[in-house]
Structure 1
Amino acid sequence: MNVDDLLDAPHVDVPTVPAPVDCMPSLLAVGQVAPVVKVDYYGGTAWDVCDMGLARMALADRRLSKDVELTPDWMRVPGVMLGAQPRAEVARAMVMSEGSEHARIRSVHARIFTPRNTEKWAVRLTQLAEELLNELAAEAAGGGEVNLVERYTYPIPLNFLCEVLGLPPKMHAIMRRATDDIIYSPDQATRAGGVGALAHAVAEWADDPSPLNEGVITGLLEAIDGDEAITVNEVVAWTVGLVMAGYESTASLISSAMFEALSRPADRRPRTEAEIEAWIEETLRVHPPFPHATWRFATEDLDLGGYLIPQGAPVQINVAAANRYRHGELADDFDPGASRDHVSFGLGHHYCLGAPLARVEARVALSAFLSHFPTARLSETTAVGWESEWMTRRIKVLPVVLAEHRLAQPGHGRRDQHG
């Protein structure tokens, strides 16, 4: 490889600070500039991969490492997403580790996110959906308008994850406030404080697990003296990671799937299990909850599609642009029947371990809502509100007029109603 023959990626401006706006237009505009671009990020420069073909190559290339020790000093900003990662000597997280350490951590988590557990959890998710939807029945009778984010799309994954972790109900609101501060506060001090508060809370539970119910946290604590040599610091770091990524991204996915459904007439919404599944996949493509994949670092000079990625460079995959661009052409319409692929859960050895569970949560939530409220619609007076930055994106306000409510009968789900 002759470095002098490679292209220098053009410099673009991308919003990196959380704000009550939708970042998607900016991220897609970047994809029109070049397949690889450079972006200013907290005083340094990052390389952003926007083309689907190159994104797939980058996600699978082991020379783009996720080892947290490769993070340049200028990126270690308290309160930003990478700054929320612990130092390597304290604890390694699955998302920012490689080699034997990544394999060890992934093995521990894989015993939690098993197909058997996912099947079992689907039953509990259905129960949670029914409980929340029946609570909305009184408001539906009066034709009331609700923010579905606060009443449904966030409570389902939050309540579920807290149950899986073993957190009593009184702790659910604490988790929601902490993750909101960490991910979406525009104030760095608030974000850093949120990370510290969440880690401190988990550390206290590790020291005294008596307030916890039996769940993932108690299971990890019991394994500290086991064969995997899990440390208390790892239990803290992994729990914080599960809280931050385990429900926030799923809640965003559910909200976006609901938004796309309620934007259409009732007869154009998904009905069968197959249609629901295709709807969720298209939502993942068009509305990835994390518009950028987590960081990678070049371990040597790389040729990526004719562009130079210099050794040590921080690299991001612009999932939002890659999902919609195919060989320079924009596939911007929401079309579940087109069966287009996406990289919203990544690829290769860092493919999202929780992807099957996230899909189940989204399918259950969407199916149950459309079954209960077949004539629900978006508000005509209150706007849908987005909140985002270049790594995270969600709907914060999803105003819905519930209209008719159909009480579910025991044993009669969407499959029974629609064949």
Structure 2
Amino acid sequence: MTPETLSTPPHVDVPTVPAPVDCMPSLVAAGQVAPVVTVDYYGGTAWVVTDMDLVRQALTDRRLSKDIELTPEWMRVPGVMLGSQPRADVARTMVMSEGREHDRIRRLHQRIFTPRDTARWGARLEVLAAELLDALAAEPGEVNLVEHYTYPLPLAFICEMLGLPPEMHGQMRRATDDIIYSPDQAVRTAGVGALAGAVAGWASNPEPLRDGLITGLLHAVDGDEAITLDEVVTWTVGLVMAGYESTASLISAGILEAMRCEPGRRPGTEAEIDAWIDETLRIHPPFPHATWRFATEDVDLGGYLVPKGAPVQINVAAANRCPHNGSTGTFDPAAGRPHISFGLGHHYCLGAPMARQEARIALSAFLARFPRARLSDTTEVRWQSEWMTRRINVLPVVLTDRARPRNPDRPGR
């Protein structure tokens, strides 16, 4: 088919600015309009793929490139994802590079995410989870698990992985919250500068750091494969943003789904936990849209025209629930339905095994420690989101039902 004979995707409205709402209904609804739609984005137009079959095609089509240099100028909005990326001549990230540069960056990151490292960090995660659950047991009444468990656990882990001492954890949390979820563009921009500035300061003076990823990258600056200081800063910021925020969102959603079930129907075995995590990834992808791609030529996607130069998004949320793929919006771990929450092809998420392990440990440890925990009867679960990020920011849980006072005139059981 020629560009003249291809269809123009219909336009839909989806939220693109962070707000205290759940974006999921809008994103799923967009997938019900057409397999490819267009969306207004910061003064321009983005092409969004929603159908699972076309999503799989788009994720593996090399004509849809993730090369940062293809970004149109109108998309470089300070404080949003692409506007926060450094210039290509300063440093490239794995998620926004292609070809030799992508292979090089991925190869260097693979040294961090080896199966041996994943297993080693698993033991440390179990300790961190136990410490947080001990502290949680001392909290009276209702607690917001986001503040006490689901975010502190991956935050402590990523900070240890980076080599940051505990006093720096708060700085990481504040910066990432500002960058991802502040509706104020100036605050988001300042957050990017604060996080990058902090990492740059540690890179230039690593004395306060413990042995970890940052010091490991710094040692590699003079190694066989040249790594620049700008790359150390850029890659570290990327790992904080992607590794911590997305895993915390996954853990929160997994526990939410467990709390919606009676205790006897919650996952208990390792296989049940694994299936629960995968179904959580399908129903609640932490990143409801994948990161950007750009058409290097006119592309035919299911009879729709994606013109050369067009910025392209993958609607992960809609694709995961695509009825053409036999999927639904019902949470059912036993069904074993597929998802693309970690991507597909040569940009498949390198940290997927680590994220799954964190979620597995967090969920199993919590359910074992508080088997009778339940959602609050008086406080609602609250969400924050925009089209690329989604999380629970209030997860109100009563850890145990309070025992009724025993009647002293009746014998105890």
Q: Taking structure 2 as the reference length, what is the TM-score of the superposition?
A: 0.96
Match for 1:46: what amino acid? A
Partner of 2:364: 367
**1:201-242 CA-partner distances (Å, limit 9, x unpaired):** 111111100010000000000111112110000000000001
Question: Counterpart in 2 of 1:416?
Answer: none
Structure-1 residue corresponding to 2:258: 261
Letter in 1 for 2:224: D
Of 157, 171, 178, the residue aligned with 1:160 is 157
Match of 2:332 among 329, 335, 339: 335
Residue equivalent to 1:415: none
Matches within 5 A, 1:227-266: 227-266=224-263
Contact 2:297 2:309 in 1 (8 A): yes
What are the equivalent positions in structure 2 for 1:50-199 lying under 5 Å apart? 50-139=50-139, 142=140, 144-199=141-196
Letter in 1 for 2:308: Q
Q: Deviations over 1:243-276 (max 9, x none)?
A: 1111100000000000000011101110111000
Q: Partner amino acid for 1:89?
A: D
**Cα separation, 1, equivalents of 2:14 and 2:124:** 40
1:300 aligns with 2:301: no
Q: Which amino acid aligns with 2:336?
A: S
Q: Distance in 1 between matches of 2:114 and 2:138?
A: 38
Task: Tell me if structure 2 keeps the 8 A contact 1:292–1:320.
Answer: yes
- Give the corresponding residue for 2:31: 31
1:20-39 Cα shifts (integer Å, max 9, x gaps): 00000000110110000000
Cα pair 2:320 2:327 within 8 Å, conserved: no
CA deviations over 1:46-104 (Å, ceiling 9, x no partner):
00000001001000111100000000000000001111111101100110000000000
Cα deviation, residue 113, structure 1: 0.5
Aligned partner letter, 2:82: L
Aligned partner letter, 1:225: D
Question: Secondary structure of 1:387's partner?
Answer: strand
The 3 A distance-change label for structure 1 pair 29 and 329 is farther
Task: Please name the residue that 1:283 is paired with.
Answer: 280
Do 1:373 and 1:404's aligned partners in 2 also have CA atoms closer than 8 Å? no
The equivalent of 2:215 in structure 1 is 218
State how far apart, in whole Å, the 2-side matches of 1:50 and 1:377 are.
35
Question: For 2:342 and 2:194, how far apart are their aligned partners in 1?
Answer: 28
Question: Is 1:19 aligned with 2:12?
Answer: no
Q: By how many angstroms is 1:189 displaced?
A: 0.7
SS of 1:136's equivalent in the other structure is helix
- For 1:2, the equivalent position in structure 2 comes to 2
Contact 1:374–1:404, Cα closer than 8 Å, also in 2: no
Tell me the residue number matched to 2:355: 358
Amino acid at match of 2:193: G
Query: Match of 1:87, as an amino acid?
Result: R
1:316 offset after TM fit, Å? 0.2
Task: Give 1:372 deviation, angstroms.
Answer: 0.2
How many angstroms apart in 2 are the aligned matches of 1:326 and 1:216?
Answer: 42
CA distance in 2, matches of 1:329, 1:218: 47
Distance across 1 between alignment mates of 2:109 and 2:327: 37
CA distance in 1, matches of 2:394, 2:286: 15
Q: Kindly provide the CA deviation profile for residues 270-290 of structure 1, in whole angstroms up to 9, marking residues without a partner as x.
A: 011100000000000000000
Return the offset for 1:329.
6.6
Contact (CA 8 Å) 1:66, 1:296: kept in 2 or not?
Answer: yes
User: What stretches of structure 1 move > 4 A for 4+ residues in a row?
Assistant: none
User: Partner residue of 1:204?
Assistant: 201
> Counterpart of 2:163 in structure 1: which amino acid?
G
Q: CA deviation at 1:138?
A: 2.1
Aligned-residue identity in percent:
74
For 2:146, the aligned partner's letter is V
CA distance in structure 2 between the partners assigned to 1:188 and 1:353 by the alignment: 30
Q: How many residues align?
A: 402
Amino acid corresponding to residue 332 of structure 1 in structure 2 = G
Per-residue deviation at 1:330? 5.7
Write the letter of the residue equivalent to 1:380.
D
Instruction: Write the letter of the residue equivalent to 1:352.
Output: C
> How far apart are 1:308 and its partner, in Å?
0.4
